[in-house]
Structure 1
């Protein structure tokens, strides 16, 4: 009767780490009544203060949930646009098209429209943690938010990706993409594709339809080869139509990124409030 339920709910979230220290170290870890009986918490005596704190955090939780739904809707919109604006292997024209564009799209092998460079790992003795050395991209762990996220550096140059080129993972998980936001050395886990932003979006459709998954399924280490990438059949259209598709996809991608940032800020705010509203 002396504690507001909603306040207590968020208090237990705040105390999660301390509660986990009470978990028994057995085959089936559990919290015992005896352990909980020794667990003390701090809370304001006035129910009015508890209600203000609980209500504030509840409203923030509701806002975070709404923003998560909005992000999922934007992701689904982007996925639908990729499916509608690009041509799959069974068709010659897209399902949706800009006005005044007609005719079938042309089929090519990827190597006919872009240069593919497979990565080659430097010697491990040349790896460093010095940001003044060359950034090394070895796989998905070095890519974040579809960009290079420096984690390891090297003194040795083997193969490179240049700023503005496409990076694609060739080992599990296969087919994930990033746009190089800097020059970097590339290891065996990735390939560099000297293509434009239109090709970047087109390759996203290959991840969606599980093209790479099917190619790598027979591989021991779930990987794809240089020939798999170079011989990939793609369909392209005239330059002006490609530019319009790219512009539209850039716009929806911008809103997806913006929404992710909004959600991150709200999550950070909740963490800050939990740390500062409780003792």
Structure 2
């Protein structure tokens, strides 16, 4: 299958991918794969297909690790290896940010340095991914193998031109990755302070000292079944939030042509921070405002995004904002509630949706206004910076996706 032959790249060489480097499957020979003996005390990083899919460019974190027993039945791949998924979301790629293991549902590619680079091949696969996916859709199981990969044919420019193309595209991806990392660090900081103030109750007292640790008065609350700071109350979510439940517009009003209002049906539209626009409607029903917190009310219940524009919301979503116009504190409260929903799901409780009455009536802790305002003043700035970086990343992503086919078919050349 030749994937990028055009009138613009006649001077490029036609190569099968097997001529450009070496493909080898990851290893995970032991069964069952989740045997605790493979992981206890582990420190050899392990990733799965989902980690490849979620990465923008490089994989820079891992959530599992093999011990020496686990490593013995697997393989540690070097930093820079190109990972290619061959099952589930096939032909997704990312580069290892440091040495890692991965299972046989992922293929590792090592470039022949005289022919190409792992970075350039990442963009080759980004360009041909849809064609690969379309070629196997509808088979008994949508997957590919190494033989399939090695037989693919692609028009390849000179090594110098490859490097120039990769430099342009990777510079955009590096900035997108940096934005994501900064936002993740700010999110972690916001959570740490929230937990310190509203879970451990060590918010600054009138003297600037940690409240509970300094002997601040605590009282038992029968509703919440725990001690809370004096002057704080138990309430329900609708006490602190204005909540709009989604309502899907008429089916014949949907379109993908940009006519009418942006429409988000549910969490399948969610991105890293704000939803990805896929659908519009000319007959909008319930609307969310820019800055509203969008919450999935169908499985997975509690997943959150932020509306980056006015939008119509369907039955799968609710839009929430603080009654005082704030969002940072409410966002953290909703993240706490999501942990409750996730725990119910993991325990096997049937929890496919949440209705209006249950959502409005969720029990929450209501701090003194001055404590909540102090947190909100900090969180507001973080939210604003987060939104700016998210917007920039989306614009850079659009630019990269516009440039990619032009560079890969030779229509645009990098001097």
Q: Which residue is 1:146 aligned to?
A: 274
The answer to whether residue 298 in structure 2 is matched with residue 189 in structure 1 is no
| Distance change >3 Å, CA 166–CA 253, structure 1 → 2 | closer
| Structure 1 counterpart of 2:283 | 155
Deviation sequence 1:151-210 (CA, Å, 0-9, x none): 2315264x4445554432101232133444555544321123352314432334326x61
Matched-pair contact (CA < 8 Å) for 1:119–1:192: yes
After superposition, the CA RMSD in angstroms is 4.8
Tell me by how many angstroms 1:121 deviates.
3.2
What is the match of residue 214 of structure 1? 343
- State the alpha-carbon separation in 2 of the partners of residues 121 and 92 from structure 1: 41
Q: Which residue pairs with 1:118 in the alignment?
A: 245
The residue that corresponds to 2:190 in the other structure is 81
Partner SS, residue 31 of structure 1: helix
**Structure-1 residue corresponding to 2:376:** 246
Q: Which residue of 2 aligns with 1:31?
A: 147
* Partner residue, 1:268: 400
Structure 2: distance between partners of 1:153 and 1:188: 14
SS at match of 2:301: coil
TM-score normalized with structure 2 length: 0.47
CA drift at 1:57: 3.8
Partner residue, 1:201: 331
Instruction: Work out the CA distance in 2 between the residues paired with 1:113 and 1:75.
Output: 26
Please give the alpha-carbon distance, in whole angstroms, between the structure 2 residues aligned to 1:255 and 1:116: 25
Alpha-carbon spacing, 1:11–1:160, altered in 2? closer, same or farther (3 Å): closer
Structure with more helix by fraction:
1
Instruction: Indicate the SS of the match to 1:223.
Output: coil
Moved more, 76-85 or 264-273: 264-273
Which structure is higher in RCO with an 8 Å CA cutoff and minimum separation 6?
A: 1
* Closer/same/farther in 2, CA of residues 210 and 132 from structure 1, 3 Å limit: same
Query: Could you tell me how far apart the structure 1 residues matched to 2:171 and 2:259 are?
Result: 44
Match of 2:233 in 1: 106
2 CA distance for matches of 1:256 and 1:6? 42
Structure 2 counterpart SS, 1:8:
coil
Matched, 1:227 2:357: yes
Residues 62, 142 of structure 1: alpha-carbon distance in 2 compared, 3 angstrom cutoff: closer
> Residue 115 and residue 62 in structure 1: after superposition, are their counterparts in 2 closer, same or farther (change >3 A)?
closer
Cα gap change, 1:245 to 1:8, in 2 (>3 Å)? same
Structure 1 residue 230, shift from structure 2 partner: 1.9
What TM-score do the two structures reach when normalised by structure 1?
Answer: 0.65
Q: Secondary structure at the match of 1:192?
A: strand
What CA deviation, in whole Å up to 9, does each residue of 1:58-100 have, x standing for no partner?
69748955863673354034124224225788x4615678974
Contact 1:68–1:263, Cα closer than 8 Å, also in 2: no
2:261/2:312 contact within 8 Å kept: yes
Is the contact made by 1:98 and 1:241 (CA closer than 8 Å) also made in structure 2?
Answer: no
CA contact 1:148–1:178 (8 Å) conserved in 2: no
More strand by share: 2
What stretches of structure 1 of length at least 5 have no aligned partner? 45-49
**Equivalent-residue separation in structure 1 for 2:175 and 2:288 (angstroms):** 39
Specify every segment of 5 or more residues in structure 2 that has no aligned partner in the other structure, as ranges.
Answer: 1-19, 21-111, 217-228
Q: Is the 8 A contact 1:215 1:224 kept in 2?
A: no
Match of 1:93 in 2: 201
Q: What is aligned with 1:47?
A: none
